[in-house]
Structure 1
Amino acid sequence: MKHLLLTAAAAVSLILPAFAEEPAAIPSPGEIVAAAPASDWVAIAPSDLLVMDLAPDAKGKARRVVIQLIPAPFSQGWIGNIRKLAAAHWWDGTSVNRVQDNYVAQWGDATEKKALPAGLEVVPESEYVTPTKGTGGTNRSVTQDGRPLVLSWSGRYPGWSWTDADDAYSTKRSFLAGWPFASTDGRIGWPVHCYGAVGVGRNMSPDTGSGAELYAVIGHAPRHLDRNIAVVGRVVSGIEHLSSLPRGTGALGFYEDAAERVAIRSIRVATELPAADQPRFEYLSTESDSFARYADARQNRRDPFFIKPAGGADICNIPVPVRPTPAK
């Protein structure tokens, strides 16, 4: 019996270290974001937030949509117009007048008769893309589970990097200052139409739209619109107030009955609101190691639920994390 006990104890001693050396669970993209240090987050200036308050819903609940405007140098002609329209309170009393399933929710003056503020810029089609600048470049690598995640920095524009993209709309992709961009040659780039992107409605070319008519993407990313319509922002909060609206029954999802339209009470740049009412958000720096690991995890899901990693992801399936921050 003593011999058997010693044999059993020896067997256990061989088994226990194997359990102790089991690899740690592989973090999901969400867990990587949650673990990102405060230093990897970048505050969004209130002056870059557009706050749209819709009429309350049928139960009297407030509906607020917050849009982050794209930073310079991208789409700045339209951004300037949007700031002028907001300062003039031009959108007050207009409406959401088009909701097309798996596509967009659009707002503006349904009558097309409301006078626009003076001084709006006519923006050329050339502004749909932005040339990169500068020369030279560097490479840096981030380690993930012992594997190098190499990010090639072109150096043509400060902070601009390109990696190969295998999709029908571009050959290169980039994340710059918290925004997704695409390119074919690495010499020019353009913001892409992902879910929640806000664009400028227009008529036939060469009309590029003033910025008075805007839409938000509420369906599968319509990348065919890239370089054909200006992307001027993205919804960072309240997209559900647009995506859940009844679909219009008219052509292209326009509401046929004026009573179906959702009234817009006001649209303001956040700095025009009382300090206590100003929304505050921050995004995960796309130049951070945390974002590199998050992007890799979005492309190669190794967390326990997934059976086979896809080995890649469309740029719109790597949404830049944005989160609210408490008032100071």
Structure 2
Amino acid sequence: MIKPLISLAAMLALALPAAAQEEPQGAPSPNEIVGQAAPEEWIAIAPEDLLVMTLAPADDGTERKVVIQLMPAPFSQGWVENIRTLARTRWYDDITVNRVQDNYVVQWGDINYDNPEAEGEAKLLPDGLRVMEVKDYAPDVPLRSFSSTGGPLKSDDYAERVGFVGSIPVGYRIYSPPPGARLADFLTQAWPIHCYGMVGVGRGYSPDTGSGAELYTVIGHAPRHLDRNIALVGRIVDGMEHLSSLPRGNGALGFYTADEADKRTPILSVRIASDLPEGDRPSFEYLSTGGETFARYAEARANRRDPFFIVPAGGADICNIPVPIRRAGE
């Protein structure tokens, strides 16, 4: 007689709604730890650093807004400056989503710029945009700028070390320090990491580094091979579902083909939050990555001990420790 792989009791338990199963008590979950954070551990994101992108409404008329936290200094500031210029000159208005590659990226920009299906003239870019160099992908950053390093973070094949600068996941390497230097004074070469929801700048072949007119976000497994090869300029803090659920393109690299014009989602407007009327400004906060609560949260993400889990993992990839975000006042 062949024995069943799962007992009848277990099958019945799985069939019950989650709320009907008695949850055992145990260590708090990562979300429960975050919920215990003191108000002073939450850091407000300045309205000048939030980009509000309004997509055309969904088929059922639902409004679709995506909010992006722009990259803080010292990373990618030339591109961030360009993005503010492009938003304030309304260059982004009426562009479209042109590429959706499954488990990879969503990309948006002018349909007639660097698009296999381009048929018309590309939009003229505003004057005064900065031109960056490849070296700007990974600037020198003092180690004291890092709010969190080490701990449960697993080393990986893409960076000697990983950590956080503010709310941004970063890879880095430490330069050989001068004799007698304090650890905080060590200089690093550091770069943002391509985790889910990070926003980057589309470009052509090097030495082209892109202007910021064409942007993309990661919607799949972290493509870490792009680190230090493309500029990252921020991360999506709200509305990710509006991009990750878009129909995939069937053309090369996920571009929409000529027969898929109806799949392109129009982008109605892109605005800096500080330029919006006060009542329309989104307001977000992130959990300080230098505080005790974040350290506990990161440890809990790396070694789940809440009742559902059986074996702690012993560490975590940095992209599996997303920095918690919330609307201000929640």
Question: What is the TM-score normalised by the length of structure 1?
Answer: 0.83
Between the aligned partners of 1:161 and 1:303, the Cα distance in structure 2 is: 24
What's the CA shift for 1:160?
A: 5.0
Between the aligned partners of 1:244 and 1:235, the Cα distance in structure 2 is: 14
Between the aligned partners of 2:41 and 2:306, the Cα distance in structure 1 is: 23
Aligned to 2:105: 104
Between the aligned partners of 1:234 and 1:132, the Cα distance in structure 2 is: 20
Aligned to 2:228: 227
Q: How does 1:56-75 map to 2 (within 5 A)?
A: 56-75=57-76
What's the CA shift for 1:157?
A: 3.4
Between structure 1 and structure 2, the one with the greater Rg is: 1
Identity of aligned residues (%): 60
Q: How does 1:1-328 map to 2 (within 5 A)?
A: 25-112=26-113, 113-133=122-142, 156-159=143-146, 162-163=149-150, 165-185=154-174, 187-257=188-258, 258-326=261-329
| Cα deviation code 1:247-295 (max 9, x no counterpart) | 0010000111333211010000011111111101000000110001101
| Secondary structure, aligned partner of 2:144 | coil
Q: What number of residue pairs does the alignment pair up?
A: 283
> Do 2:147 and 2:289's aligned partners in 1 also have CA atoms closer than 8 Å?
no
Between the aligned partners of 2:94 and 2:303, the Cα distance in structure 1 is: 47
What's the CA shift for 1:161?
A: 5.0
Between the aligned partners of 1:169 and 1:87, the Cα distance in structure 2 is: 36
Structure 1's unaligned 5+ residue stretches are 1-23, 134-155
> Do 1:107 and 1:214's aligned partners in 2 also have CA atoms closer than 8 Å?
yes
Amino acid at match of 2:257: E
What's the CA shift for 1:311?
A: 0.3
| Cα deviation code 1:222-251 (max 9, x no counterpart) | 111000000100000000000000000100
Between the aligned partners of 2:277 and 2:85, the Cα distance in structure 1 is: 19
> Do 1:66 and 1:237's aligned partners in 2 also have CA atoms closer than 8 Å?
yes
Between the aligned partners of 1:326 and 1:109, the Cα distance in structure 2 is: 37
Structure 2's unaligned 5+ residue stretches are 1-24, 114-121, 176-187
Q: Cα RMSD between the aligned structures?
A: 1.6
Between the aligned partners of 1:46 and 1:132, the Cα distance in structure 2 is: 25
| Secondary structure, aligned partner of 1:157 | helix
Between the aligned partners of 1:48 and 1:61, the Cα distance in structure 2 is: 26
> Do 2:167 and 2:289's aligned partners in 1 also have CA atoms closer than 8 Å?
yes
Between the aligned partners of 1:184 and 1:274, the Cα distance in structure 2 is: 42
